[in-house]
Structure 1
């Protein structure tokens, strides 16, 4: 009988070569859907950069011990005819799977995982689409409840709701300020009057005029927001963030993370060009780069050749745990599931890898984290507690 790591490595290799049979495709899909842990492995093997990094790190492991530990957490695959492959090829894929599995099931220093297996007693769903619109006269509109169609807001301002998204229509009433805010456990997408598309992460907000008049287009944000700015060279788009941070663009795609409980605020550019301003300093940002602001020291620096997809994973419905610390992951989980996280004892130091869907229930996220060695329990007061070692 074939052990699961070898067999799954074989199936993934065939998938990469587009050579899976229908039966093999069903087998691989069944394995992927077994749990979020398997999904992380499958998604990671599709990324060439991740595979190269995993292969390099793989050399550091004691493979005999690692395989045994991985096998201890798996089942045995049924017999199947396996076409003979080059040992280097199947070993390459198996190595990548092994590294991810090992990072999720044991500490890097070959420590045995100690699991906290108490099952959460509260089922918590992921964030849903919804936001609160506050008009200039103080009236509030719960956007979750608005049906598709045109709506009149104030002073002749007209917007359209379609599939849970709000789009403003350009009008002559340029000085009507509005704010759209999401709470923890909510996210939202909207379109400004100039055609700029905006995605709001959980616990975020944007303040904007119902129409743009004058030489600039100014908005103000808190939290995390992704922009696809409508191009207009004659009217720059300016985003004002807390503590004097300002982003200036003419037409571009970028992500801005300014949560108050994050030590570093990040502006990540996908397309176009932006200028980042802080305390009289100005830095130009090109695609594939990230401006990082130390919130307490107010230092600003540029990190080049980053993976911009990691910064916007949330907008694409994913948690990206690549290189993240436990507190960074927990802050994301707090906002997305509207819970609180408490730490009992020292914070565990674990290296995390991979992505997982944000559509998973919290219980599935907890299970994936437990597989990585994090000991957790969820009480009935929606408090997720990390248990000391």
Structure 2
């Protein structure tokens, strides 16, 4: 395909203004292109796009590098090839893209009219000290926040950090409401990222023989290695994750599901079911022991799914999708529409309702979590999903 024609079709596709005939032309040409041909088309198309849109040199170099460091495309499906091509061109205008598995809608939605702009979530949380006092962490400046039992609680680059030592086992709790996320560095240098509507409870200084932490909601952990002091995570008091040194994600929103998803990114962990429901983070945090349990040792790229008395492993997991929230994006590939909207509820602090059945529509791609709710919904509406927005209530009409 001639590069000017290729650029024209890509731009039409990105602006959702492509005819069915042009879409079919683009589909056939990308599907038929091998690595070298597609790379040549993209490189040439980029030169024309750069000239037409007066792209700054530094941004141009970023995008050109993205083109040159391409994935293997010969074995890709059409939608993936098109996504790669579209992502490269759209990188300059926002760094995000979304693809619809099907025909795009030409209808416009009036769902966002007459509503105040609902901004995306941001960094923020509530810190609860051992004496029950609560401190808002929204927009807190760097510096000493509090001192407990000789341990200094500091804000460093917008995150909570603990410094000092103590012989007492004292617990703090950090809670993120809807519309907030937060990062903490524990006393052993373990890093924790909390997603919206989540809670983590931990000692301000770990004991010498064990490190016990409690979590609900969703969190990503990078655990500092210490073979002399095993790290054990209690998830909703229903499952345990035993760690030496590793990175993993836990999703355990009880209000949405009774299932716990633990995804191992790096290292090695063992997950166990707790069939002894007597353990309570509020009463026995220093003696975290499982009752009769089933356990599985996991390797990177696996996901453990725990529900009730059932524990199983899935090897078919997309790590990029699982940790997209930590990296600041909504990731759509392989995610159901209802799960996408659950994320929307948590991040924008809204209520999503459906008029009729939940749509079975599927998307590929990703969108930045930094856009307003109205912009997010407008993007989805271009693909035939329509809404009515009433203050902080989103009604899905389709």
2:138 partner SS: helix
Q: Do structure 1's residue 204 and structure 2's residue 198 form an aligned pair? A: yes
Kept after mapping to 2: 8 A contact 1:125/1:337: yes
Q: What runs of 5+ residues in structure 2 fail to find an aligned partner? A: 13-25, 31-36, 56-65, 88-96, 276-292
- The 8 Å contact of residues 130 and 171 in structure 2, kept in 1 or not, is answered as yes
Listed as ranges, the matches of 1:86-125 within 5 Å are 108=102, 116-120=109-113, 121-125=115-119
Using the alignment, how far apart are the partners of 1:44 and 1:298 within structure 2? 48
Task: Return the match for 1:262 from 257, 261, 268.
Answer: 257
Distance in 1 separating the partners of 2:158 and 2:194: 13
In the other structure, the counterpart of 1:329 is: 340
Residues 56-67 of structure 1 correspond to what in structure 2 (within 5 A)?
none
| Structure 1 contact 44–50 (Cα < 8 Å) conserved | no
1:349 correspondence with 2:360: yes
1:24 matched to 2:54: no
Residues 309/45 of structure 1: CA separation in 2 closer, same or farther (3 Å cut):
farther
> How many Å apart are 1:7 and its aligned residue?
6.5
- Where in structure 2 are the equivalents of 1:299-314 lying within 5 Å? 299-314=310-325
Q: Unpaired segments of 5 or more residues in structure 1?
A: 31-42, 59-91
Structure 2 distance, partners of 1:218, 1:319, is: 31
- Name 1:66's counterpart in structure 2: none
Question: 2: CA distance between counterparts of 1:174 and 1:49?
Answer: 55
Equivalent residues in 2 for 1:1-389, closer than 5 Å: 2=5, 4-5=8-9, 13-14=38-39, 24-25=49-50, 27=52, 48=71, 52-55=75-78, 108=102, 116-120=109-113, 121-260=115-254, 261-262=256-257, 264-278=259-273, 279=275, 280-294=293-307, 297-380=308-391, 382-388=392-398
Contact 1:157 1:173 in 2 (8 A): no
Q: TM-score, normalised by structure 1?
A: 0.76
Paired residue for 1:36? none
Q: Would you say the 8 A contact 2:107–2:382 is kept in 1?
A: no
Instruction: Using the TM superposition, name which of 214-223 and 165-174 deviates more.
Output: 165-174
SS of residue paired to 1:332: helix
Alignment deviations for residues 128-168 of structure 1 (CA, whole Å, 9 cap, x no partner)? 11110001111111112532123333222202212211111
Q: Is the 8 A contact 1:104 1:373 kept in 2?
A: no
Query: What residue in structure 2 maps to residue 39 of structure 1?
Result: none
Flag the 1:105–1:195 CA change in 2: closer, same or farther, 3 A: closer
Aligned residue pairs, count? 335
Q: Contact 2:218–2:251 at 8 Å: present in 1 too?
A: yes
Aligned equivalents of 1:14 and 1:53: distance in 2?
14
Q: Choose 225-234 or 137-146, whichever is displaced more.
A: 137-146
How high is the TM-score relative to the length of structure 2? 0.74
In 1, Cα distance between equivalents of 2:224 and 2:84: 45
Note if contact 1:322-1:353 (Cα within 8 Å) is conserved in structure 2: yes
